[in-house]
């Protein structure tokens, strides 16, 4: 089954004039499962090199065969666009600005195949890669606390260069935010030892919403290549735009110099 959702457009936030009346090019997403439970997280990330902190909202959709983790804004935008076969660019950006996806990355786990698919962007280019659901060697603790009305137990682990402290409940889903998985129940909270990354559940609810995916727009790559490309771009975005036809030019059509500056970046994976 298919339905129309994301327009295949850039990240521009406003549009006006005659262009606003042009038809939006709507993409197509495939329904792969139906969610049974949804968990909404507050996600806080710190970039110490810039002295900056950002907060986002994310959602984990849990079905029988698939789990999906994405921006809560993207989830709400998808839901608002369900069943809309046609709309103008102006109408689309009204929806986009209303729901404002916090980030563009999303992850899809195929439970039966033990496969994790990651979808992300480097500048304006979309990439995806597959990997086996990673094994995380957790150490369980007797410590407990309550989160969203659930009694949670503590566990610790080192995963891809970061030390994690997680809290899981008795909901029988061995998964959590981002790539965190492998505990006896759903992970409702997790933070790195240095507190650069913190996930905190703010809502756990029953659901029957479709879990969708569209991978036709994405270039296939590997985890290692994607992480390196993203790190290079974040450290010097001007370099990646240098030879792009979209790079800024002066009145004579000559490329304009772009200052070197580092973008906000604190990778979840260090290795």
Q: Which residue, among 123, 95, 106, has the nearest Cα to 13 in the 3D structure?
A: 95
Q: Using CA atoms, how far apart are residues 262 and 226, in angstroms rounded to an integer? A: 18
Over residues 98-108, the pLDDT tens digits come to: 556 667 899 99
Over residues 188-227, the pLDDT tens digits come to: 999 999 999 999 999 999 999 999 987 678 999 999 999 9
Q: Using CA atoms, how far apart are residues 129 and 28, in angstroms rounded to an integer? A: 20
Over residues 2-30, the pLDDT tens digits come to: 323 333 334 445 665 666 666 666 667 78
Query: Rounded to 5 degrees, what are φ and ψ at 229?
Result: -65, -40
Residue 270 burial (CB count, 10 A):
11
Ranges of each domain in the chain = 1-15+30-137+201-270
* Three state DSSP letters for the chain: CEEEEEECCCCCCCCCHHHHHCECCEEEEEEEEECCEEEEEEEEEEECCCCEEEEEEEEEEECCCEEEEEEHHHHHHHHHHCCCCCCEHHHHHHHHHHHCCCCCCEEEEECCCCEEEEEEEECCEEEEEEEECCCCCCEEEEEEEEECCEEEEEEEEEECCEEEEEEECCCCCCECCCCCECCCCCEEEEEECCCCEEEEEEEEEECCCEEEECCCCCEECCHHHHHHHHHHHHHCHHHHHCCCCCCCECCCCCECCCCCCCCCCCCCCCC
229 pLDDT above the threshold of 90: yes
More confident residue, 92 or 138: 138
Q: Identify any residues that bridge with 69 across adjacent strands, giving them in sequence order.
A: 60, 107
More confident residue, 130 or 19: 130
pLDDT at position 123 is 87
pLDDT at position 101 is 64
Q: How confident is the model at residue 73 (pLDDT cuts 50, 70, 90)?
A: confident
| 194: its two tokens | 């240095």
Percent of the chain with pLDDT over 70: 73
Q: Which residue, among 27, 13, 50, has the nearest Cα to 212 in the 3D structure?
A: 27
31 pLDDT above the threshold of 50: yes
Q: Which residue, among 81, 104, 102, 83, has the nearest Cα to 92 in the 3D structure?
A: 81
Percent of the chain with pLDDT over 90: 63
């Amino acid at each position: 089954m298919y339905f129309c959702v994301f327009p295949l457009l850039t990240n521009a936030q406003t549009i006006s004039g005659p262009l606003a009346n042009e038809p939006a090019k709507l993409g197509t997403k495939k329904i792969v499962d139906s969610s049974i439970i949804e968990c909404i997280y507050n996600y806080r990330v710190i970039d110490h090199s810039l002295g900056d902190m950002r907060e986002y909202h994310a959602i984990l959709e849990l079905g029988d065969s698939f789990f999906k983790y994405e921006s809560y804004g993207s989830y709400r935008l998808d839901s608002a666009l369900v069943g809309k076969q046609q709309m103008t660019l102006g109408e689309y950006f009204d929806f986009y600005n209303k729901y404002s996806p916090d980030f563009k990355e999303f992850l899809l786990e195929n439970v039966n195949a033990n496969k994790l698919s990651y979808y992300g962007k480097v500048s304006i280019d979309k990439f995806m890669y597959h990997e086996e659901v990673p094994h995380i060697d957790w150490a369980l603790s007797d410590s407990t606390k309550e989160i969203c009305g659930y009694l949670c137990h503590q566990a610790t682990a080192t995963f891809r260069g970061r030390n994690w402290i997680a809290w899981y409940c008795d909901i029988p889903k061995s998964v959590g935010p981002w790539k965190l998985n492998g505990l006896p129940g759903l992970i409702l909270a997790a933070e790195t030892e240095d507190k650069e990354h913190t996930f905190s559940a703010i809502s756990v609810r029953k659901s029957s919403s479709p879990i969708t995916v569209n991978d036709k727009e994405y270039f296939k790559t590997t985890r290692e290549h994607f992480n390196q490309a993203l790190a290079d771009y974040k450290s010097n975005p001007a370099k990646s735009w240098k030879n792009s036809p979209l790079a800024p030019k002066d009145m004579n059509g000559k490329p304009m110099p772009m200052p070197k500056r580092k973008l906000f970046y604190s990778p979840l994976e260090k290795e």
